[in-house]
Amino acid sequence: MKRNWSLKWSLPLGFGLAWLLVLGATLFNAIRTSDESLRDFARSTAASYAADLARNAEQGWATAPSLVESNLALLATDPAVDSVVLLDANGRVLAAHRQAWVGRKIDEVWPGFDGAWVGEALSARLPRVRADATGLQVEAAQSFGLAPAGPGSEARSRGLAYVALDYSPARAERLQRLLEARAAEMIVIPLVLLVLGVVLWRGVGRPLERLAQAVRAVRQGRYDTRVPVDGLREIAELGDAFNAMAQAVEEAQAALKAKEDQLAITLDSIGDGLVSTDAQGRITGLNPAARSLCGWDLAAVVGRPIEEVLVLVDGASGAPVAPPGLSGHARRADRGPLQPCGAHHGGRSAAACRRQRCADPRRAG
């Protein structure tokens, strides 16, 4: 038989699973929203830093380079800033967050630096921004005009302000704060589910288990079994209904037993031999007179076909005949029900019916 889940486990586990699904969905949505906001912030911040640095360099690099370098150093104090560099059109470092880079070619101090992308940014007027697959590591470049190369030169060369930001640590911090904010919920909800499970077990699970045990007891014949009427209202009503049903079954069984006992006393007091059978002609009982005539114990013949135990013979010819009404009822529909032994059966008189014998119990199979 298939074993189903117990109520005391399925309900708390069901609520727990539902809570985990809701918690997972809300956390996923919160993390996704936070990441989208952080990615947008990273791009806008990188573009803003590059534009501010380019504007300061264009306005003050020729007259007050130290002021521009101070502004660059201030940008470098941002924990998200990974690199900040000022380049000329030839890729030479004018100023950088690392002093050792100044005056050197950028591809010498930064292997793998994307010079092609920088060249595109030099020819553009608006900030160029790009990010990696996560959107948290962002680069921004903004071109600016430099003062003429020397006295008498009117040609203005171009420079480039480059900023690289990494917001991966910031994302980790946001995620930690988000989990800390949900920590109380993650502790309280399981405790609430535990209490709910205990309450459901005491109010529903345990009464239903007692009721199931009582049903099995009644099925096994213990009709005096009763259950306590407690728990929730519906469960208590169910227990009360079961007790009423069990009481009615017990009373019906007692009345039936009394009738059976009365019938048994009546049948046992009959002087003639009496054999009772079921609809298929199998013996269900013998009264004392029948047991005395046949020499059988009741336990030895119950369930056996009557033809094996009771052998009737014709009074005139002595030929064996089928028991009146019994085997005919089982085998042929045109025979009537069993008649009393005082009536005629197939031309046989009551005297012939009384001249019957039982099979020898020592020779019967």
For residue range 303-354, what is the model confidence (pLDDT) as tens digits?
Answer: 888 877 777 777 677 677 776 665 433 333 233 333 333 333 333 333 333 4
Percent of the chain beyond pLDDT 90? 29
Strand bridging mode 128-131 / 137-148: antiparallel
The tokens for 81 are 């800033």
The domain 23-148+156-180 is placed in CATH, from the list 3.40.50.150, 1.10.3720.10, 3.30.70.20, 3.30.450.20, at: 3.30.450.20
DSSP 278-295: -TTSBEEEE-HHHHHHH-
pLDDT at 160 over 70: yes
pLDDT in tens, 110-121: 888 888 888 888
Boundaries of every domain in the chain: 23-148+156-180, 182-267, 275-358
| Residue pLDDT, tens place only, 256-276 | 989 888 887 887 788 777 888
Beta strands in the chain (DSSP E): 81-88, 93-96, 128-131, 137-148, 156-166, 275-277, 283-286, 310-313, 320-321, 356-358
pTM above 0.85, yes or no: no
pLDDT at 231: 72
Q: Please state, in angstroms and rounded to a whole number, the distance separating the CA atoms of residues 54 and 159.
A: 8
pLDDT in tens, 17-41: 888 888 888 888 989 999 999 999 9
What would the pLDDT profile of 217-271 be if each residue is shown by its tens digit?
998 988 889 998 877 788 888 889 999 999 999 899 899 989 888 887 887 788 7
Q: How confident is the model at residue 131 (pLDDT cuts 50, 70, 90)?
A: very high
Question: What is the predicted pLDDT for the residue at 156?
Answer: 66
Please tell me the distance from the alpha carbon of residue 214 to that of residue 220, in angstroms, as a whole number.
10
Q: How much is the pLDDT for 151?
A: 53
Rounded to 5 degrees, what are φ and ψ at 228?
Answer: -65, 140
Q: What is the mean pLDDT of the chain?
A: 80
Question: How far, in Å, CA of 340 to CA of 324, rounded?
Answer: 9
